[in-house]
């Protein structure tokens, strides 16, 4: 389809097709398709499934019901994050964990280590299906309208972060979820590898009248950054705590929930955070990039940019990074060091793009 391919997490991935700007606007205004078959999927089943998922993830799995999805993370036992993930509750004995492609092996090892301590059997109670499942993210305000043509039951009014098992383009047992990484609505669909090509073609046929286009990793990054969504390896990693990363909302300290690092995070919350992940807009002219130093007014380095770009929807340079808590309030003045020059920026609230 004319993609420019790049190596990513051990895969060859399309970074762009028509061009980053055009692809970004296609998703914001119409409908675009990301082939995200490289993502990882783990099944957790059986009588201990709930107990296991509740222990290894930070969010409260007790709040899920059949057909509901939760954003969460795996705390790593040292105050950092193994990965961020989605938790799907199929039923009370069955959960699907969707993890980042670059972290599949690490996540699987972490899950196995914890599962075996709890008496879950690998291959039976916990199963790595990453190589068997293909996934498409069909994103944009017209995505569900276009996909409705391929599904008999109504999907356009589905609540955010829910899913249905559907017959999709004549293929049975497809999971269709109202999730995504763009902030422009749409769905993600999971299917067996053997059905991927059939479904891919059907998706493009159904979306033709809505201007559907393939979208690459480049626009995926600018879309998620405009929403202030964290990218593992950039904005969160093994050394960042969920609380520092602004993920307190997925870290639930309910009395009945015990989870990895609960005590550590409670102490961190009570003591107060030394640093926080912030979003910023450039005031002076310059585009922030990952690893550029963040400085205070005296030019002293206080952090570094974790993600940065020229935001296509806003036409201004934006970024994210960790700064001392004292400088994390909206409208605080910070400086980004770009090619030896200190350029002024201001802290803003997430999301950058308000839709």
Give helix then strand counts, H and E, for the chain. 7, 19
Domain membership of residue 11 (yes or no) is yes
Asked if residue 124 and residue 183 are part of one domain, the reply reads no
Q: What is the pLDDT of residues 91-113, one digit of tens each?
A: 999 999 999 999 999 999 999 99
Query: Is residue 286 domain-shared with residue 346, that is, in the same domain?
Result: yes
| Pair (308, 341) in one structural domain | yes
| Average pLDDT score over the chain | 97
Per-residue model confidence as pLDDT tens digits over 229-248: 999 999 999 999 999 999 99
Residues 89 and 198 occupy one common structural domain: no
Kindly state the tokens that stand for 168: 């999709």
Return the pLDDT at 304. 97
pLDDT tens digits, one per residue of 192-224? 999 999 999 999 999 999 999 999 999 999 999
35-69: pLDDT as tens digits? 999 999 999 999 999 999 999 999 999 999 999 99
Q: Same domain for 141 and 94? A: no
Do 185 and 83 share a structural domain?
A: no
DSSP alpha helices (H): ranges in the chain? 20-29, 49-56, 104-117, 143-147, 196-207, 217-227, 262-271
Distances from the Cα of 294 to the Cα of 291, 333, 344, angstroms: 9, 11, 10
* Residue 217 forms part of a structural domain: yes
For residue 268, is it within any domain?
no
Would 241 be classed as within a structural domain? no
Quick one: 81 and 29 in the same domain? no
Number of folded domains in the chain?
A: 3
Residue range 241-271, pLDDT digits in tens: 999 999 999 999 999 999 999 999 999 999 9
Query: Do 151 and 124 fall into the same domain?
Result: no
Q: Report the pLDDT value the prediction gives residue 80, as an integer from 0 to 100.
A: 98
Q: pLDDT band for position 9 (50/70/90)?
A: confident
Q: Which domain holds residue 209?
A: 4-39+132-224
CATH number at residue 89: 3.30.70.1400
Q: What is d(CA 158, CA 189) in angstroms, rounded to the nearest whole number?
A: 14
Last-in-domain residue among 190, 224, 258: 224
Per-residue pLDDT band for 114 (boundaries 50, 70, 90) equals very high
In this structure, the answer to whether residues 149 and 218 fall within a common structural domain is yes
What count of other Cβ atoms lies within 10 Å of the Cβ of residue 353? 20
Residue 229 belongs to a domain: no
């Amino acid at each position: 389809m004319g993609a420019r391919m790049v190596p990513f997490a051990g895969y060859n991935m399309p970074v762009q097709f028509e061009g980053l700007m055009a692809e970004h606007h296609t998703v914001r205004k119409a409908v675009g398709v990301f082939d995200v078959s490289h993502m990882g999927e783990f099944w957790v089943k059986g009588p201990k499934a709930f107990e296991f998922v509740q222990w290894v993830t930070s969010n409260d799995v007790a709040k899920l019901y059949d057909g509901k999805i939760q954003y969460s993370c795996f705390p790593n036992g040292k105050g950092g994050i193994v990965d961020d993930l989605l938790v799907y509750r199929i039923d009370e004995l069955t959960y699907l964990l969707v993890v980042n492609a670059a972290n599949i092996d690490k996540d699987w090892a972490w899950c196995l280590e914890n599962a075996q301590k709890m008496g879950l059997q690998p291959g039976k109670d916990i199963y790595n299906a990453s190589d068997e499942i293909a996934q498409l993210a069909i994103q944009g305000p017209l995505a569900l309208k276009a996909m409705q043509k391929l599904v008999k039951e109504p999907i356009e009014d589905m609540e955010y972060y829910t899913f249905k098992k559907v017959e999709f383009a004549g293929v049975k047992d497809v999971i269709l979820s109202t999730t995504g990484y763009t902030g422009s609505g749409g769905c993600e669909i999971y299917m067996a590898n053997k059905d991927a090509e059939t479904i891919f073609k059907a998706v493009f046929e159904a979306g033709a009248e809505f201007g559907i286009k393939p979208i690459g990793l480049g626009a995926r990054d600018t879309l998620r950054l405009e929403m202030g969504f964290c990218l593992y390896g950039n904005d969160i990693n093994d050394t960042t705590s969920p609380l520092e990363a602004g993920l307190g909302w997925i870290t639930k300290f309910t009395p009945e929930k015990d989870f990895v690092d609960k005590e550590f995070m409670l102490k961190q919350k009570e003591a107060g955070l030394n640093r926080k992940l912030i979003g910023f807009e450039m005031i002076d002219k310059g585009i922030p990039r990952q690893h550029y130093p963040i400085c205070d007014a005296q030019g002293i380095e206080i952090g570094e940019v974790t993600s940065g770009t020229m935001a296509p929807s806003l036409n201004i340079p934006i970024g994210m990074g960790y700064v001392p808590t004292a400088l994390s309030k909206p409208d605080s003045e910070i400086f980004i060091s770009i090619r030896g020059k200190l350029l002024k920026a201001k802290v803003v609230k997430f999301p950058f793009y308000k839709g």
